[in-house]
Amino acid sequence: MKIASRRTPFGDRLCFPEVVPHHLIDIQAAFVRRLETGGVHRDDALARARLAVPGDLPVLLQADPELTAVRRVWDWAVDHADTGELDEDCLWSDEPGRLGPPIGRPQTIWCMLANYPRERPGAEPTATGRQRPRGPQGCLKAVSSLAGPYDELRHPAISKKVDPEMELAVVIGPRSRLLTPDTALQAVAGYVGFCDTGSRDVSELDNNRMDRGKGFDTYGITGPWFVTADEIPDPHRLRIRSWVNGEPRQDGNTAEMFHSIPEQLAWLTAALTLAPGDVLSTGTPLGHGNVQPGDVIRGEIEALGVIENKVVLDN
């Protein structure tokens, strides 16, 4: 099941993509329509929909980590996509520029660092290219950095080294602490593409601290949609690619990670409690590099969709 976030005059709406051509199905509206067709009064259906389908993914996962109610609406919507019951009241156009971050407003975003080799498989080995770090490492990322999958990437005037990195991100379902590698994947609600941008020169000015350098507005491009974990049988076998102005930059695979997703989650939750909807971005393959205003970046993760963003000067 895929969930997108559509910006509307009434606020962001959680929607199902890729069911009705060129449209998004408003989940809350479809919930109401499903109940109405079963004989429930509209006022009662609206009240139930507001309780069962909050408009923000972290709130939804907090109320229902298994997404049981949403899955029932998904099944109904797929079965009734061609019957006319999903009329214009349930649909939004799928204009790319209207898509917001499907993960809503999580409490915590954690980005892993140095989790992939720095040389390509099969290349002549170097002293540091495939050297495994002593342990996992990472940093917090500002929630205010989040942006939609087709939003502009704003290039700060104070930076000359803006470096977007395409990554697989994990979204947490149940509240989690002290996970183990054997059980950690049970805490994963789903996955999303995440373009973790940073300004290396800003970090260098900050004694190599990463939080400010990775925290600029639009430095957390997310999407195009959230995909539930049952749709991704093996998150360690996904191809990750990126391009700048049509030229290939990254072409890697999550199989290259030094530390697996369960290892990362066990390490992180030894210290942090992860709340429903929190995000762990799992690191990036080699090939990324700096971009300039006017560039167009494109990123794709197998089974998770495509993002595309124009780089503009933020002055």
Q: Is 196 exposed, middle or buried (0-12, 13-18, 19+ CB in 10 A)?
A: buried
Q: What is the per-residue pLDDT across 15-24, written as a single tens digit (0 to 9) for each?
A: 999 999 999 9
Structure tokens at 97: 């520029």
* Domain boundaries defined on the chain: 2-94, 99-314
d(C-alpha 220, C-alpha 143), whole Å: 8
Measured on CA atoms in the order 120, 124, 128, 131, is the torsion positive or negative?
Answer: positive
Structure tokens at 60: 């939804």
- Nearest partner of 175 among 73, 106, 267, 222, judged by Cα: 106
- Nearest partner of 256 among 117, 119, 150, judged by Cα: 117
Identity of the amino acid at 139: C
Q: What is the per-residue pLDDT across 189-218, written as a single tens digit (0 to 9) for each?
A: 999 999 999 999 998 988 888 889 999 999
Q: What is the per-residue pLDDT across 228-246, written as a single tens digit (0 to 9) for each?
A: 999 999 999 999 999 999 9
- Residues forming a β-bridge with 159: none
d(C-alpha 151, C-alpha 239), whole Å: 23
Q: Is 314 exposed, middle or buried (0-12, 13-18, 19+ CB in 10 A)?
A: middle
Class of domain 99-314: alpha beta
Residue 240 · residue 192 · CB < 8 Å: no
- Split the chain (315 residues) into runs of 10 and give each run's mean pLDDT: 96 96 96 94 95 93 95 95 87 96 97 89 57 84 98 96 97 97 97 97 88 95 97 98 98 97 98 98 96 98 98 92
